[in-house]
Structure 1
Amino acid sequence: MMNYTEIAGFKVWNDDYDDYKDKYELTGIIGEGMCMRFARWLNENDLSEDTAEDVCNNTSGLRDGNRLDIHDNYYLTDDGRYQISYIWALENGIVYAEVYDSEEDRYVGNIEICC
């Protein structure tokens, strides 16, 4: 059973990305789709007005086969304590955003962006 914490109205699942690291070799096309879905989610939740192209330009190439690092983190909270620092996906297309706690300098879990 997975536990979650609620941060800024979002369920942040207490899960460890390392369990999914290097399990998949996603393609660049899927990486672009991740950016598109993440941009849509950011806009729908009033966290950013970035377009899919803006998000793509703010990310690295695919890392670990399924992760895109974000260069300038997106703030989940107004004070900047909770930030989204990378997005990742499963082979079946589910996209997650990893939440970083800048005050405690640790990852707290992930938010399911789309399924």
Structure 2
Amino acid sequence: MRVHLTKQQQLDLCKHRRTQHPHPSLQELATWAQVTFKLKRPPSKAMVSRVLRQEPVLQTLTPDELQRRRTQQQHVAALDAMMLEAIAFFEDGHVALNGRLIIWLARRCAD
């Protein structure tokens, strides 16, 4: 059974490591995460190491992204924004949208 942390929990783990002197071992960080985040099992040492390497990226995430376990790729987020804008445009013009039209619209936006 794998342990999954939200991006916020991962960032908290990185912050905890930075505030401790001397730096705790990966095993100690895993145990801290298990207790702090009330996990059934501690994360693996490999996972903790991966999280620590991702700290610069984690610091750039928005509060909404920090609540997720996975972040969306940039092109997916851009496509979502384009679709919302296009649907709002059609709704303002009182155009009835059905599933086929939305799929066609998504394909056009993806191009």
TM range, normalised to the smaller chain? under 0.3
Give the structure with the larger strand fraction: 1
**Structure having the larger proportion of residues in helix:** 2
Higher relative contact order (CA closer than 8 Å, sequence separation 6+): 2
Higher Cα Rg: structure 1 or 2? 2
TM-score (structure 2 length as normaliser):
0.23
Q: How does the TM-score come out when normalised to structure 1?
A: 0.23
